[in-house]
Amino acid sequence: MIDLPVEQIEAARAGDPSDIDRLIETIWPDAYRLARAILGESHAAEDAAQDACVIVYRTISSLREAAAFRVWLYRIVVRAASEIKRRRARREPEIVDVATSSDESIRIDVWRALATLPPGLRTIIVLRYFEELSSREIAAVLRIPDGTVRFQLMIGRRRLRPLLAETPPPSFLSTDEVKFNAI
Amino acid sequence: MRSDRFEVFVDMRTQIAVPPVPLARIRTAAARSNAGVRPRRAGFIASLIAGAGVVVVTVGAGVWSEARILFPSSGGVKIVSDYTEFSMLPPPVEKVQAAVRAANFPVILPSGFPGSDRPTRMATFGKRAIYAIYLGYKIRDARPRSGIAFILSRADAMDSAQHPNGVVDAPFGGSFFTGTPPGGHRIIWKIGGESVLVLRGTATSAELSAIHRAMLAQAPR
């Protein structure tokens, strides 16, 4: 979840390259993880995160207020990821990296389940459950009505539920906790 | 409120291995986009402005150091420049003011419109300084691709005898388009040290006269 000190954002907005470098280094892991969750593939995620960071690097000084940074950054990463997805969809089938963890099959199943969602729905699910954004924040990031986000979340949960129903619980969770509709 | 299931997702997120930040590549790419031109957009910009009967050709640095405005025999208007910036959105006042300050000629902005004096489109031409400014305005509730547009430049920028009428080096893929301004009229006004090419569009004669008078009454900025 992207959360930076206002001072760091303000310093980067002032335009000093070393401050912008520091900001990029700070946001890179979040940008990459978000792109990775949306795209499901590490190389594409790296490209998307890099494109997003280039945009941040170029335009941070035009950001009107530091308080808007979080939503602004999410929006840039989501757009960069969508653009990469659109470009790649033309020439190759989707690749989903599932081996993110060696021991927990639930993670693999969640990645696979996410990959079955259409891109827009997947983005909303990722922003809600990976990034812990509220529906209102997601609405701000995607510039769509809050009600639409809530509706899409309901659809997403409904679509994921059967796919995850058979998922064995990881060792640190009870069976009840794995039911997707508990979200 | 977070559920336990929610924790699973967050936990998955933190498990994603993150590659090292490619800072040098990011810096280089950012610097390249700031310095130049946005090559991928050159054709797009040209096609947008072509809708108003204007052609933008972005040529390589060193070929031209400033903007030239040409009137090809095939019709329309062609702006040749080493650097072009174009926004599809109405430019903020500050951006217009910045363009005026960076211009290498005494700028008198169009005014005296029946509605708002705020432009709905702007393009600037020139790298080291701004040699020409394209401004589009709505007249009344004009639909897109109508209204009125102006190309402001230094008086000598429209001397077509000094520049090539044929092959222009366009390494960034700038395309040539031809067209005629909406309404089929273009007018050139000399206002102080500024040349104003008016792409009349849907403006009436009375509106044009009002704009001309208002511009003549202004001091250069």
pLDDT in tens, B53-99: 444 544 433 334 456 676 665 556 667 776 677 766 788 888 898 88
CB pairs A-B closer than 8 Å: 80
Compute the nearest-CA separation of B35 from chain A (Å): 11
CATH architecture of A99-183: Orthogonal Bundle (1.10)
Nearest CA in chain A to B25: A50
Nearest-neighbour CA in chain A from B101: distance (Å):
19
Sheet holding B194-199, edge to edge: B84-87, B121-125, B132-137, B148-154, B194-199, B186-191
Query: Residue B198: what are its φ and ψ, rounded to 5°?
Result: -105, 120
- Model confidence pLDDT, tens digit, residues A143-168: 899 999 999 999 988 887 776 654 44
Does A98 score more than 70 pLDDT? Answer: no
Out of B5, B19, B21, the one facing A183 most closely (by C-beta) is: B5
Per-residue pLDDT reduced to its tens digit, B178-199: 333 444 456 778 887 788 877 7
Q: With CB atoms and an 8 Å threshold, state whether A58 touches B10.
A: no
Higher pLDDT, A120 or B41: A120
B208-211 long-range contacts, Cβ below 8 Å, gap at least 24? Answer: B210/B112, B210/B113, B210/B114, B211/B110, B211/B111, B211/B112, B211/B113, B211/B148
The pLDDT assigned to B40 comes to 37
Distance CA B114, CA A49 (A): 47
Q: Under CATH, which number does the domain A1-97 receive?
A: 1.10.1740.10
Q: What is the mean pLDDT of residues A79-104?
A: 60
B171 pLDDT band, cuts 50/70/90, is: very low
Contact B15 A101 (CB under 8 A): yes
CA distances A15 to A60, A62, B26, B27, B173, Å, are 8, 10, 15, 13, 31
Instruction: Name the residue among A24, A58, A182 with its Cβ closest to that of B33.
Output: A58
Residue B97 distance to chain A (closest CA, Å): 16
Give residue limits of the domains in chain A.
Answer: 1-97, 99-183
Q: CB contact, 8 Å: A103 with chain B?
A: no
pLDDT greater at residue A14 or residue B162: A14
Task: Give the list of residues 6+ apart from residue A53 with CB closer than 8 angstroms, or none.
Answer: A24, A27, A28, A31, B21, B26
Question: Cα distance from A44 to chain B (closest Cα, Å)?
Answer: 12
A4 touches chain B (CB under 8 A): no
Confidence (pTM): 0.49
Instruction: Give yes or no for residue A77 having a pLDDT over 90.
Output: yes
A25, A107, A131 member nearest B23 (Cβ)? A25
Task: Inform me whether the pLDDT recorded for B1 exceeds 70.
Answer: no
Q: How close is the nearest chain A Cα to the Cα of B218, in Å? A: 31
Nearest to B16 among A33, A173, A183 (CB): A33
Yes or no, beta carbons of A21 and B13 under 8 Å apart: no
